[in-house]
Structure 1
Amino acid sequence: MKQIILCNPINKDTIQRYALFVVGLFFSALGVAITKKGELGVSPISSAANVMSIRFPQLSLGYWLIIWNCVLILGQILLLRKKFQWIQLLQIPLSFLFGWFTDFGVWLVSFFIPANYPAKLILVIVGTIVLGFGISLAVIANVILNSGEAFVKALSDTIHKEFGNVKVVFDITCVIVAVLLSFLFFHALKGTREGTILAAVCTGFVVKFFNQLLQKPIESYLNRSVQPNS
């Protein structure tokens, strides 16, 4: 995996990178909200929270995502123990931001009512593209991992398995948990459908595309902006 900048002193470069990360977080959350509006399922990591938000609407999707992300942070602490870097607790406020951004995104797209299956499918595709764009910005920012990827990294380091392979198993497990919750609560498949599979298959390709398109110009801008004036 790419080396993550964690302990840089607070300077202009660090501030800009965290600002870029927050922008990426916003677009990632907006992508989840758009995908949810398609009613064909959301991304694997958000799928269990989506089912819970349908069963217990007293809490919004955003707040269920906050709860889920905090569970993943606790999982990292239990896995890593003394090796856990306390700077990673920044994931907690960032998880709250992601949840709030998701609810704001749900509100933004609330006016749009998909009238048929093609419209729902288009929403899933658009949501996946927006999600991939947001993830790409967060990756380029290179400051901290989101709770899902950080949990996967903690698990892969603990069991000494390749990150990519563990990530695939983690995503599949998230979907299985969501499906089990769906049948437990509704005795039917709800909140996790073909849109979840589409997001799982396509998001990585979208992230790769935007990384190739944006990484060099963004890095170039960040490097120029922190250079002292001659």
Structure 2
Amino acid sequence: LVGLQIAVLRSRFNPMQLSQLVIGFVFGWLIDINMMLTDWLECATVISRIATQFAGCAVMGVGIALEVRCGSVTMPGEGFPVALSRVTGVAFPCVKIVVDTVLVVLAVVSSYLFFGRWAWNIVGPGTLFAMIFVGLEIKLLNPYLGWFDRLLSYRPGFRRYIVGLARFIYRRNPKD
């Protein structure tokens, strides 16, 4: 996916984005640790599996929306849709859904090529749900993330503190 970003962006590719390779490795390692730590948890009922899938996708969607909004180094799975979005001008959530769908279709085709069948234990209903739900959630969240943009543009400093203090004092004593 990083190679595809380079191909899509060409000279506009920021070499700092190559750190996605390291970040992806560390993130994968952290997922393995998380899986080891939560191995004892079991979703025995269909309702608990659906609730867990929904909660996991919801948290992932919020995380991706904030990650992309930062404009910093992303995970490769988001970096490629971000690059396509920049080049085509199509909104990131729409590109994310298309890219995720193409990746899932490639996984299913690979499943048939290598195993002769759809390996539901690899690409199951949760994957099919996530490929659409996460992009839709990002699309729904984006209009409400203005507060995050303001947080990112906040620059602490003494002058800002003095101005804020003066406003506070003025509001308390408007007659003075």
Q: Same fold (TM over 0.5)?
A: yes
Pick one of 62, 84, 105 that aligns with 2:13.
84
Distance in 1 (alpha carbons) for counterparts of 2:22 and 2:141: 26
Pick one of 127, 134, 146 that aligns with 1:196.
127
The corresponding residue for 2:138 is 207
Give 5+ residue unaligned stretches, structure 1.
1-71
Counterpart AA for 2:48? A
Counterpart AA for 2:115? F
Distance in 2 (alpha carbons) for counterparts of 1:220 and 1:78: 33
Secondary structure of the structure 2 residue equivalent to 1:112: coil
Instruction: Tell whether 2:114 aligns with 1:187.
Output: no
**Once the 2 structures are TM-superposed, how far is the Cα of residue 136 of structure 1 from its aligned partner?**
2.6
Distance in 1 (alpha carbons) for counterparts of 2:38 and 2:145: 26
Matches within 5 A, 1:114-133: 114-133=43-62
**Once the 2 structures are TM-superposed, how far is the Cα of residue 186 of structure 1 from its aligned partner?**
6.1
Aligned residues: 156
Counterpart AA for 2:15? W
The corresponding residue for 1:162 is 90
Give the percent of matched residue pairs that are identical in Structure 1 and Structure 2. Answer: 29
The corresponding residue for 2:174 is none
Of the two structures, which has the highest relative contact order with CA contacts closer than 8 Å and spacing of 6 or more?
A: 1
Instruction: Tell whether 2:28 aligns with 1:105.
Output: no
Contact 1:76 1:154 in 2 (8 A): yes
Distance in 1 (alpha carbons) for counterparts of 2:33 and 2:144: 28
The corresponding residue for 2:107 is 178
Give 5+ residue unaligned stretches, structure 2.
160-176
Distance in 2 (alpha carbons) for counterparts of 1:195 and 1:213: 26
Distance change (3 Å), C-alpha of 1:222 and 1:156: closer
The corresponding residue for 1:73 is 2
Contact 1:79 1:154 in 2 (8 A): yes
Distance in 1 (alpha carbons) for counterparts of 2:57 and 2:86: 29
Distance change (3 Å), C-alpha of 1:163 and 1:201: same
Counterpart AA for 1:96? F
Q: TM-score, normalised by structure 1?
A: 0.55
Q: CA RMSD in A?
A: 2.9
Q: TM-score, normalised by structure 2?
A: 0.69
Distance in 1 (alpha carbons) for counterparts of 2:145 and 2:81: 25
